[in-house]
């Protein structure tokens, strides 16, 4: 450059040309390279607040508020950084970047990003909790294809019925 030399041996730096090239990929598995989780499927925007039961088979991104239950058995759910969810969630993949209060069950993968805040029980085949994330609850790692036993399925479950105590007589 200064001495009139040609700099032919320089190797291009992909991080300088594309700053996101070296960033970790936090997109749900199965999403395409050109599209992040926010560009396909359904989206609950920041200004929306919904209460109820959500059942579907489509990718979902929540940037607003949701209260109730969510069931996306064959799809993924992403709770964005501004998203607030108070619900029990069942999905193939779950990525939490915002706040979730409730139990989460992922058939494949569950990820709590560093900005994520989760209070509830986690059930998944693979669980990722990034450094800096907040989590309070229990974790149950399940083998792929294994279904969690519900009450009454196993021989271990039983019911206790309270009875009134007898009065003591002397």
Where on the phi/psi map is residue 41: left (φ > 0), alpha (ψ -120 to 50), or beta? left
For residue 34, the model assigns a pLDDT of: 39
Alpha helices in the chain (DSSP H): 14-17
How many separate domains does the chain show? Answer: 1
**pLDDT tens-digit series, residues 120-151:** 999 999 999 999 999 999 999 987 655 554 44
**pLDDT tens-digit series, residues 96-127:** 999 999 999 999 999 999 999 999 999 999 99
> Is 102 within a domain?
yes
Distance of CA 102 to the CA centre of its chain: 11
Could you list the residue range(s) of the whole structural domain that residue 95 is in? Answer: 34-141
> Is 162 within a domain?
no
**pLDDT tens-digit series, residues 5-56:** 555 555 555 444 544 444 445 555 544 443 444 446 899 999 999 999 999 9
**pLDDT tens-digit series, residues 55-66:** 999 999 999 999
> Is 26 within a domain?
no
CA 19 → CA 13, 32, 36, 48, 52, distances in Å?
A: 10, 19, 16, 32, 40
> Is 18 within a domain?
no
> Is 13 within a domain?
no
For residue 32, the model assigns a pLDDT of: 43
> Is 43 within a domain?
yes
> Is 8 within a domain?
no
For residue 122, the model assigns a pLDDT of: 96
Where on the phi/psi map is residue 149: left (φ > 0), alpha (ψ -120 to 50), or beta? beta
> Is 157 within a domain?
no
């Amino acid at each position: 450059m200064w001495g009139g030399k040609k700099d032919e041996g320089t190797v291009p730096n992909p991080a300088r040309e594309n700053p996101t090239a070296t960033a970790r990929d936090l997109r749900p598995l199965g999403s395409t390279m050109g599209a992040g989780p926010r560009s396909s499927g359904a989206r609950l925007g920041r200004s929306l607040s919904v209460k109820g039961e959500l059942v579907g088979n489509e990718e979902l991104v929540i940037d607003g508020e949701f209260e109730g239950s969510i069931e996306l058995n064959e799809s993924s759910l992403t709770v964005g950084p501004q998203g607030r969810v108070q619900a029990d969630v069942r999905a193939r993949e779950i990525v939490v970047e915002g706040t979730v209060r409730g139990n989460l069950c992922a058939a494949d993968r569950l990820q709590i990003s560093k900005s994520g805040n989760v209070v509830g029980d986690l059930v998944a085949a693979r669980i990722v909790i990034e450094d800096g994330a907040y989590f309070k609850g229990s974790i149950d790692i399940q083998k792929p294809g294994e279904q969690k036993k519900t009450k009454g399925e196993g021989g271990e479950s039983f019911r206790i019925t309270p009875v009134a105590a007898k009065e003591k007589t002397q």
